[in-house]
Structure 1
Amino acid sequence: MAVPEKFQGWLGLDKESVKGNMKWGEFEPKKWEEDDVDIEISHCGICGSDLHTLQSGWNDTPYPCVVGHEIIGTAVRVGKNVKHIQVGDRVGVGAQARSCLEVDCAECTNGNESYCSRGGVNTYGSIYPKGEGKSYGGYATHNRTNAHFVFKIPDEIPSELAAPMMCAGITMYSPLTRNGCGPGKTVGIVGVGGLGHFGILFAKALGADRVVALSRKADKRADALALGADMYIATDDASEDANWNKTNKRSLDLIVSTISSPKMPMRKYLELLKVGGSFIQVGLPDGGVLPNINAFTLVGNGVKVGGSAIGAPHEIQEMLKLAAEKKIKPWVTVRPMSDANTAIVDMEAGKARYRYVLKAPTSASRL
């Protein structure tokens, strides 16, 4: 299949782009290598990370930038060194475009590529370390990514549902499986949103005995229960149990927090953990600031606090297999690629229930 030398996409040119000011235009993908795959994009999910990057919330974004790392499409060019992908395959790309993949890298050789500190490259907004160019994401006609981070999508999963799994899905699947979610375990998911709703879906699919959803207000109770939660706690609602942390003390084996706020009631969350339980943070606030943790809370309850970042390629493959087998259906709203500016504004306003997915026209280059 013919692939253009330059791709087209929604360019973020400065911090104001997050306000719906992205501009459609051409960009030059990274230098082609025979380990790469070119993808004609059909769908791309919208992630909170896209908004943080557009406004340089985590660090200075190397503008121009095309965001989007929940990519689904068709492989239209495949490097000679690639064995698991063929032209015409329906494939996906998540938040990582490359790691060093060196044989002496402890992370890359032990299934922890997402934690590689030598040559980690994000799907967008990263400068390749050997002069290959810049990475550009999925609000675009095409994407070019190292094949190690390109995955065949099972036939059972529609593209609009597969897209948000590539980031939001794996961001929740990885900490759940790495921290023992399964039969006999009770799991709490803090935040019912794009990430949190995946947490509920995957915790149930993995066989957790009990899943508890926690959110500030009571307005997401019906959604959380419909997703499969066994219990819902509205932490800031005066009409609810004001002593929810005491009422449910030491009831959970694992908590995964999707909240990106320095004002979250961390001490109360930790009180929900059983002795030996784990609190895993996946939400990333601008500046990275989280609430202080009292040492007496940690020591007195014998709990652990940790973090998790996306997931490794083998975990993405496992997640897709589980999603296909269990018929997991995230809640998505499909919007045209031409509507990207309005969609990111709506995302920032909290209107998504619970993931927006951009769909390209039949010919992705005509918007």
Structure 2
Amino acid sequence: MTAPDYKFEGWLASDASAANGTMQWKEFEPKKWEETDIDIKITHCGICGSDLHTLRSGWGPTNYPCCVGHEIVGIAVRVGSQAEGNIKVGDRVGVGAQGESCLGRKGHCNECASGNERFCARHWAGTYDGIFMNGDKSYGGYALYNRSHSHFVVKIPDALPSAHAAPMLCGGTTTYTPLKENGCGPGKSVGVIGVGGLGHFAILFAKALGADQVVAISRKGNKRNDALALGASSYIATDEDENWSQEHGRSLDLIICTVSSSKMPLAQYVSLLKVHGTLIQLGNPDDGFLTVPAGSLIIQNAKLGGSMIGSPGDIREMLQLAADKGLKPWVKERPMKDANQAIMDMEDGKARYRYVLVNEW
């Protein structure tokens, strides 16, 4: 196959100041082409909280220069002869937060063999700021084109608009997967801590999976109407009701916590669980460590766990559910050229509830 006639260009961060809106538009060199790869002409890319953490080296040193963005939707323009997924040139496809695992390599790990590629312990490369097995860097979706291993590229259902599908590829599956794995469904009461980019997806998917009650939990009451419009049954504003943990104690089967702060009242959140209930932590603070509320866990026989993104199979399942249920995430499209301003607006909490960058082809 002849080399492509397009260039890989995007917004590159050169240091941690990029989180303050100093990304620069430059050309970059994608991973060397392999016949298992797919090139995507990017039309949409969601802005994820992980992008901000990475831009400022919040979770550890970022390998600059870095192009973030792992909620990518676009058109397949080059498909390798050994590509997976029955994807053809011209198909509308997407790629989420993971770009490679050890799957397909000799002696691949048990996690990859069982469809849990997201937990691969031998080799895990992110869609951006990762290193592929061939030694090349991964570059994300604040760009014109993306090159990804076909195993992690999925088709987008026709019924889903690209601007809706893009933020589902990380934000959506990060909430859908633990809901599914922890029994969300009819007869269950589910709490969602944090009504933001992740939290609004958690409300949508908890309702789509059939939960009887979905309780939105936030510090202030200013998102109450939004949460109810998204499908929440009720709302708790923790800063405005000093007795909230007592009034709502032992009322929830499952809690999904999307907050990324080491200062949140985790013991009080656990007290909202029924006996044998489960709290799943999604937010990963970069301002310190969470303290395990051992006493609360013990007296309620409760479980505290975590979850990250979703494997390709989870993503396909989630996208189909969203298409079947007609889910409509709350997104605002922003021109790709305005990415610097968009990430600053995201950091300032202005998104209601996800920004999606759009290339003006």
Residue 121 (str. 1) matches residue 125 (str. 2): yes
Structure 1 residue 130, shift from structure 2 partner: 3.0
Aligned-pair CA distance for 1:188:
0.3
What does residue 150 of structure 2 align with? 147
Equivalent residue, structure 1, for 2:205: 202
Give the letter aligned to residue 26 of structure 2. G
> Which of 67, 86, 89 in structure 1 is aligned with 2:88?
86
Contact 2:74 2:92 in 1 (8 A): yes
Q: TM-score, normalised by structure 2?
A: 0.97
Give the structure 1 partner of residue 330 of structure 2. Answer: 331
Report the equivalent of 1:179: 182
Which position in structure 2 is the counterpart of 1:64? 65
CA distance in 1, matches of 2:19, 2:117: 30
Aligned partners of 1:6 and 1:29 also within 8 Å: no
| 8 A Cα contact 1:2 1:76, kept in partner | no
Distance (Å, rounded) in 1 between the aligned partners of 2:43 and 2:307: 29
Q: Is the CA contact (8 Å cut-off) linking 1:8 and 1:142 kept in structure 2?
A: yes
- What amino acid is the match of 2:32? K
Give the letter aligned to residue 307 of structure 1.
G
User: Which consecutive unaligned segments of at least 5 residues does structure 2 have?
Assistant: none
Conservation of the 8 A alpha-carbon contact between 2:266 and 2:293: no
Letter of the aligned partner of 2:197 in structure 1?
A: G
Q: CA shift at 1:348, angstroms? A: 0.6
How far apart are 1:140 and its partner, in Å? 0.2
Distance 1:245 1:16, change over 3 A: same
Q: What is residue 263 of structure 1 aligned with on the other side?
A: 263
Q: Aligned-pair RMSD on alpha carbons?
A: 1.2
Q: Percent identity?
A: 62
TM-aligned CA distance change 1:69 to 1:356, over 3 Å: same
Which position in structure 2 is the counterpart of 1:97? Answer: 99
Q: Using the alignment, how far apart are the partners of 1:141 and 1:260 within structure 2?
A: 30
The residue that corresponds to 1:365 in the other structure is: none
- How far apart are the structure 2 equivalents of 1:11 and 1:153? 27
Deviation at 1:295, TM superposition (A): 2.1
How far does residue 14 in structure 1 lie from its aligned partner after superposition? 0.7
User: Could you tell me how far apart the structure 2 residues matched to 1:135 and 1:293 are?
Assistant: 35
Structure 1 residue 296, shift from structure 2 partner: 2.0
**Contact map agreement 1:58 1:287 (CA 8 A) in 2:** no
Change (3 A) 1:186 1:298: same
Question: How many equivalent pairs are there?
Answer: 357
**What is aligned with 2:244?**
244
What CA distance in whole angstroms lies between the structure 2 residues aligned with 1:322 and 1:41?
24
Deviations 1:276-330 (A, max 9, x none): 110000001115611x223221111100000000011111010001000000100
Q: Return the alpha-carbon distance in structure 1 between the equivalents of residues 254 and 221 of structure 2.
A: 22
Note if 1:285 corresponds to 2:285.
yes
CA offsets, 1:29-58, max 9 Å, x none? Answer: 001111110000000000111111111110
TM-score, length-scaled by structure 1: 0.95
Q: Does residue 1:33 correspond to 2:34, yes or no?
A: yes
Q: Look up the match of 1:8.
A: 9
Q: Where does structure 1 lack aligned partners over 5 or more consecutive residues?
A: 363-367
